[in-house]
Structure 1
Amino acid sequence: MSDPLFDEDDEANTPLTEEERDQLIPTYITLRRELNEAEQINISSAMKRLSARKRDVINDQFLRDLHKRMFDQVWRWAGTYRTTPRNIGIEAYRIPTEVRQLVDDVRFQVEHETYPPDEIAVRFSHRLVSVHPFPNGNGRHSRLAADLLAVQLGQRHFSWGRINLVDPGETRKAYITALRSADQHDIQALMAFARS
């Protein structure tokens, strides 16, 4: 079965530029599943380091540091905002301003209890992934950030369908459908998916 490393698929992976691809750190990686495995090991390590600390998730520097921790053993650009266009997300030059605005908005929502804690965290994840600040890993980053925010707000981590959402499948399709509903300002499906 073929497993080309940088083949594009319209649902699971953000296409990388040639320059971004050249920033891959492990030299042994030649297949997509090897990349997914290396990234998951890196993310698991980051999660262990994060679990023992109190943190302020609603902070743009923390969000960059979180992405770096999640992918620093795999990508040299980990934790660095993208500078190239994507088929999703906003224009690259707007990323720093939009992330700061998101952080300010979520701080306001928390302070004024605009929504219940779960909804604040899910809305945070959705908006962060829609900005698409990094070359890759945006979905995993936004979900982990939402988990950390939920805990900061006194809630449990989300389950996000209880499966790896990187690999194509029915759970991934349900997640994409929920994201698209949220894009149309209906957050209920994404909230339900986050706790499924």
Structure 2
Amino acid sequence: MKFIYPEGATPFNQDDAAALIPKHITTQDQLNEWEQVNIIEGERWLFSRKRKNILTVEFLKNIHKRMFDKTWKWAGEFRKYNPNIGVPYLLIQEKLRHLCDDATYWVNNKVYSIDEIAARFHHRLVAIHAFPNGNGRHARLMADALLVQLGAARFSWGKETLVKPSQTRSQYIKALKQADKENYKALLNFVRS
């Protein structure tokens, strides 16, 4: 199978690609569709009841596993190499723990608005890039879970899929790049657009 990578996506290495569970998939569209069904199952589990504390490394791993466990053998496992994006793989656990601690502090001390807390959490989770794939989708779902836990509505994320190349995906990537420079205005506008 040949993978097609939209702007901002992390290419698979050979080991990651070989860990595909459904052997009948031969096209990118089939993979996207299969993953989406798996993600919806993870989403149903996530929002099926109120969760106590989602701001832990174990919870981040658990929801990734639930989102991709019928697609990838490595679902919920941190990457073990350094791709074109993200922190060095040996720092993933430490950086995630710091992110969870920071987000907990932001919430407890009302450092930012709820939307900004979720947007900043999302941005840093994407930047860490803990998993071989699915990091953007995982970070978006975790931001939504944090919003719901705090009593707010989920983000609209441009009201369009961000998996395939599109103007909306380009706008999202540009907003993330602005957030890399500590400018969250574009991302805050995008998440509610």
* TM class by smaller structure: over 0.9
Question: For the residues of structure 2 that align with 1:100 and 1:51, how far apart are their CA atoms?
Answer: 23
Report the AA paired with residue 9 of structure 2: N
**Aligned residues of 1:12 and 1:168 also touching (Cα < 8 A):** no
1:8 Cα deviation after fit: 4.1
Is residue 50 of structure 1 aligned with residue 39 of structure 2?
Answer: no
State the Cα deviation string for residues 85-136 of structure 1 (Å, max 9, x = none).
1101111000000000100111111111110111001100000000000000
**Aligned residues of 2:123 and 2:176 also touching (Cα < 8 A):** yes
Report the AA paired with residue 148 of structure 1: A
Question: For the residues of structure 2 that align with 1:7 and 1:124, how far apart are their CA atoms?
Answer: 28
Q: Which of 110, 113, 116 is the matching residue for 2:107?
A: 110
Report the AA paired with residue 144 of structure 1: L
Report the AA paired with residue 39 of structure 2: I
TM-score by length of 1: 0.95
Is residue 60 of structure 1 aligned with residue 57 of structure 2?
Answer: yes
Unaligned runs of 5+ in 2: none
Question: For the residues of structure 1 that align with 2:98 and 2:43, how far apart are their CA atoms?
Answer: 26
The 5-angstrom pairing of residues 94-109 of structure 1 reads 94-109=91-106
Partner of 1:35: 31
Q: Which of 49, 64, 69 is the matching residue for 2:66?
A: 69
1:13 Cα deviation after fit: 2.5
**Aligned residues of 1:81 and 1:135 also touching (Cα < 8 A):** yes
Q: Which of 127, 138, 144 is the matching residue for 2:135?
A: 138
**Aligned residues of 2:8 and 2:173 also touching (Cα < 8 A):** no
Question: For the residues of structure 2 that align with 1:38 and 1:8, how far apart are their CA atoms?
Answer: 16
Is residue 20 of structure 1 aligned with residue 5 of structure 2?
Answer: no
State the Cα deviation string for residues 13-38 of structure 1 (Å, max 9, x = none).
21111111110000011111111111
- Residue identity over aligned pairs, in percent, reads 47
Say how many residue pairs are matched: 192
Question: For the residues of structure 2 that align with 1:7 and 1:153, how far apart are their CA atoms?
Answer: 37
Question: For the residues of structure 1 that align with 2:11 and 2:64, how far apart are their CA atoms?
Answer: 18
1:193 Cα deviation after fit: 0.4
Unaligned runs of 5+ in 1: none
Question: For the residues of structure 1 that align with 2:173 and 2:79, how far apart are their CA atoms?
Answer: 22
Question: For the residues of structure 1 that align with 2:105 and 2:2, how far apart are their CA atoms?
Answer: 41
Instruction: Kindly report the root-mean-square deviation, in angstroms, between the aligned alpha carbons of the 2 structures.
Output: 1.1
Report the AA paired with residue 80 of structure 2: T
**Aligned residues of 2:114 and 2:152 also touching (Cα < 8 A):** yes
Partner of 1:166: 163
**Aligned residues of 1:12 and 1:166 also touching (Cα < 8 A):** no
Is residue 182 of structure 1 aligned with residue 156 of structure 2?
Answer: no
TM-score by length of 2: 0.97
1:54 Cα deviation after fit: 1.4
1:186 Cα deviation after fit: 0.3
